[in-house]
Structure 1
Amino acid sequence: MPMLKTDDGVSLHYEEAGSGTPMVFVHEYAGDHRAWEMQLRFFSRRYRCIAYAARGYPPSEVPSDPNKYSQDRATDDIAAVIKGLGLGPTHVVGLSMGAFATLHLGLRHPGLARSLVAAGVGYGAAPGKQEQFRAEVDASIARIRAETMGEFGKTYSRGPTRLIFAQKDPRGFAEFQQQLCEHSTEGSALTMQGVQRERPSLFDLRDGFAKMTVPTLVIAGDEDDPTLEASIYLKRTIPSSALLVMPKCGHTMNLEDPDAFNRAVLDFVTQVDCGRWENRIPESLAGGIIAAKK
């Protein structure tokens, strides 16, 4: 079973397929490395693809020390995968919790990123929503410890932003739910406590995003309401970004509509690799529809 060590000594499991330009996939809180299977099958025909399980997600190590879990740790773990496998600048694709870490990689380790895809990102990040988000997280942590993930996963998987997945693809949703219920109770609680609860708001990182030049694609599902405002904010703030809103899609768009997701990401990374992804034209930010008089 392939494993690598992070800078602070935690073992991470990863799976690899294909060859060529590297692409790393970073999963959401309710997923793990298996959630990217349809992406690995598609992109490994053209790219060297790596999906890894975050710390706290077996078969990766589950540290018992709460200090081993944070937004910075999650970000540095992406860097550890890229450096540990000698990938060089890499296309990094993150979903939700993984998308937060992916954006932070662009802020803190831009030299490691060839491009960034941030999908389903922004829950709890909107102004005035952090306290509500933290209260929800605290309640969830208590339930995880009381019920175990085997039970709590059945509830968490049916959150409002995932109902469209269950409606569209009951078979795929059942697989997603089963994998979620297999997660470590301890790892899930500590991840929610250290990474989810304490992560900074995206809106507090405006200055860094405004200077970011790594090509970035933001993807939102139109039925993933808590991420829409943040996705528009990222599009307006990151000069090297574009925004895609996927119709009739919730939080787990790579599983809900893998063909559309894969094609969109492929088009994006192809433009990046051929040097055709450019920053936003400054004049397009004027806020009107009529060109200014010269």
Structure 2
Amino acid sequence: MMSALEQRLLQRAVIAGGIDIHYAEEGSGSTLVFVHGGMGDWSSWAPQWAAFTPHFRCITYSRRYSSPNQNTIDSRSHSAIAEAEDLSALLDRWQAAPAVLIGTSYGAFTALQLALAHPGKVRALALTEPPVLPFADRSEGGRDARLRFQRQVLDPAAEAFAAGESELAVRLLTEGINGSGPGESSTPAGRERRMRNAEAMRALSLSSEPYPSLDEEALRQLNAPTLLLYGDRTLEVHRATTMALSRLMPQAQLLEVPDSGHGIHRDNPAVFNSVVLDFLQRDVSSLGPGQAWQSGDHPIIISADRQLTTETTCF
């Protein structure tokens, strides 16, 4: 059965270089843009659509090489830098800046890169585990996890793509990236979605620099209210990267979401929707260390060491 989002009429925008982008839009008010992960597309945000469209003008789009876009891979150096410039052009086209950006995985990386390159176009950020992998090396355990991830997941997937074995590459990436959240990774629908978006991961897997580092001083100076999320069941490489990013962004709030792997928005959508809406509906920039904010009727405490603690019944 098609979700309410998937029943929306897709629209198209052509941006610089003839890049053709498909998107869906609903709601009114301040603009909120959903930015999907590596093997997702515009439909990935179905669990969020009904929760956010009553409050925002919501737009979800397929990034450059994701379905149903038919853009030809024309670079061996594709990365979040190019994806962020695509999003910047789209915000102009939609007359949407400054916009709230909600991103997961490589979509979170894209949104964060946009905020650094074009800070005036971003109102707030809610980011799930952006894979700025060089930052994992800021801890010994993180470096070991990154090297293991490279050796066991990224390198074999790149070799499979280079050999024309896209199905194998997608399987390696799916199993190697998602962690142990309950999500849709192993369902027929989940596998079909990933295969139809294989070109997006081919572009990254065969890129000379798919996971570039970000300017640390620019991260510290970023003014947009930011919520960083990670799953309690995510892989160590994602956890280490998110923790390192959090330490570089003392202005950001950090939240561990229960019963989730790498794809929090699909693994635990009720909690994801609740905490992100709470974050957006409050003046989060006024909260300092040690202050409390609310998720429904339950407190989430931002402690002085920037670790978020919750009661087990919180959600």
Could you tell me the TM-score, scaled by structure 1's length? 0.83
Q: The residue matched to 2:179 in structure 1 has which SS? A: helix
Change (3 A) 1:278 1:58: same
Picking from 283, 286, 306, the partner of 1:278 is 286
**Matching residue of 2:140:** none
Change (3 A) 1:6 1:276: same
Q: CA RMSD in A?
A: 2.8
Contact between 1:31 and 1:179, CA under 8 Å: does it hold in 2? yes
Change (3 A) 1:279 1:78: farther
Change (3 A) 1:112 1:142: same
Change (3 A) 1:68 1:86: farther
Picking from 6, 14, 29, the partner of 1:5 is 14
**Matching residue of 2:311:** none
Higher share in helix:
1
Q: The residue matched to 1:259 in structure 2 has which SS? A: helix
Contact between 1:161 and 1:223, CA under 8 Å: does it hold in 2? no
Change (3 A) 1:163 1:177: farther
1:180 counterpart letter in structure 2: R
- Which runs of at least 4 in structure 1 moved beyond 3 Å after TM superposition? 128-136, 145-152, 160-163, 279-282, 284-287
Q: How far did 1:285 drift? A: 10
| Structure 1, unaligned runs of 5 or more | 288-294
**Matching residue of 2:174:** 157
**Matching residue of 1:183:** 197
**Separation of aligned partners in 2, 1:20 and 1:233:** 34
**Matching residue of 1:292:** none
Q: How far did 1:194 drift? A: 2.9
**Matching residue of 1:267:** 278
Matches within 5 A, 1:182-201: 182-184=196-198, 186-194=199-207, 197-201=209-213
**Matching residue of 1:57:** 66
1:3 counterpart letter in structure 2: R
Contact between 2:127 and 2:226, CA under 8 Å: does it hold in 1? yes
* Greater Cα shift, 135-144 or 84-93: 135-144
Contact between 2:98 and 2:120, CA under 8 Å: does it hold in 1? yes
| Structure 2, unaligned runs of 5 or more | 1-9, 138-142, 291-301, 306-315
Q: Percent identity?
A: 25
Picking from 129, 132, 150, the partner of 1:120 is 129
**Matching residue of 1:229:** 240
Picking from 140, 143, 161, the partner of 1:144 is 161
1:200 counterpart letter in structure 2: P
**Separation of aligned partners in 1, 2:19 and 2:256:** 36
**Matching residue of 1:208:** 218
Picking from 100, 116, 124, the partner of 1:107 is 116
**Separation of aligned partners in 2, 1:67 and 1:159:** 23
Q: The residue matched to 2:182 in structure 1 has which SS? A: helix
Instruction: Tell me, yes or no, if structure 1 residue 32 matches structure 2 residue 46.
Output: no
Q: How far did 1:191 drift? A: 2.7
Q: The residue matched to 1:117 in structure 2 has which SS? A: strand
Contact between 2:231 and 2:256, CA under 8 Å: does it hold in 1? yes
Matched length: 276
